[in-house]
Amino acid sequence: MNVPATREDLMIVNMGPHHPSMHGVLRLIVTLDGEDVIDCEPILGYLHRGMEKIAENRTIIQYLPYVTRWDYLATMFTEAITVNAPEQLGNIQVPKRASYIRVIMLELSRIASHLLWLGPFMADIGAQTPFFYIFRERELVYDLFEAATGMRMMHNYFRIGGVAADLPYGWIDKCLDFCDYFLTGDQCYELPEYNGIFVKSIVMSVIDEFDWEVQWQKEGDSLSRYLVRIGEMVESIKIIQQALEGIPGGPYENLEIRCFDRVRNPELNDFDYRFISKKPSPTFELSKQELYVRVEAPKGELGVFLIGDQNVFPWRWKNSTAG
């Protein structure tokens, strides 16, 4: 809307950025003539940018609990990219078992995110029933997350060089049961394809060891978006099943990274340090270089640009968000 040139004493008001619902953060630049709104410019795509400055004043381990707030529908991916950046910066090797566990958690997170895309999407175009079904499957995924990490949403599970804890006893069998149920359970997700609603118009270092296919459609309409996400969930289940069946033994974390390159403080061997628990959390210096790392998250490419300065804190941390 064009503002009339004859108007005077107009007031421009920022409404937001605020979080109106689960669809994202919205800012409205509103032009007022008294109580009348004569212009409104919506601006999309905001992330909580305070996260970047927080990262530059924390060690990576201290910062990990924050990052799940970037995208609380795909929290494992935000943790993965956060630890992957310093891993590549320091050339840190991840044990193979830890890599398999990461793949499993990431694909479960992808399924949970796609399900919560599917439910509101179907409700928006008139199919209300799938909105209720998707929460049933998401609860099963969250049960698996809770059993492995202790938390249903904000997990704080990934670590530099691995994961925080190994999979508990019986978890693999429980996850396999979920995969079998997801593929052979209710077929409610196939119904919208035929009911006339639609109008037809690398972080995971071991991913190459699995058999899967990239999902794509050439049309680019609503049905295509639906088919791609349904196909991606099926491919995620296939990857999870292969990872669960082939997961190797061994350590779940590279403990060698806990050893600092710097000269050790002689006080670390004193009585107070050794026996009264005055021990800092494990960390390491980020070498003086820069890099950009990315991962294919459920909503698109999620990336981090990191600059190290031979310090335990990043000199610069920038997010490139998906969606």
Residues in the chain: 323
Please report the pLDDT score of residue 103 as a whole number.
93
Question: Token pair for residue 62?
Answer: 């201290």
**One pLDDT digit (tens) per residue for the chain, 323 residues:** 555 555 568 999 988 777 655 555 788 899 999 889 999 998 876 665 578 888 998 888 889 988 888 888 889 999 999 999 888 888 888 999 999 999 999 999 999 999 999 988 888 888 888 888 899 999 999 999 999 999 988 899 999 889 999 999 999 999 999 999 988 865 445 545 544 444 433 445 677 778 888 888 888 888 888 899 999 999 999 999 999 999 999 888 887 766 544 445 545 555 544 554 544 555 678 888 899 998 888 888 888 999 988 888 899 999 887 65
43-67: burial string, b at 16+ Cβ within 10 Å, e else:
eeeebeeebbeebeebbbbebbebb
Please report the pLDDT score of residue 278 as a whole number.
47
Please report the pLDDT score of residue 17 as a whole number.
75
| CB of 179 closer than 8 Å to CB of 247 | no
Q: Is the pTM of this model over 0.85?
A: no
Helices 96-124, 222-246: crossing angle, 10 deg rounding: 150
Please report the pLDDT score of residue 7 as a whole number.
58
Helices 96-124, 171-184: crossing angle, 10 deg rounding: 30
- By CB atoms closer than 10 A (0-12, 13-18, 19+), residue 201 is exposed
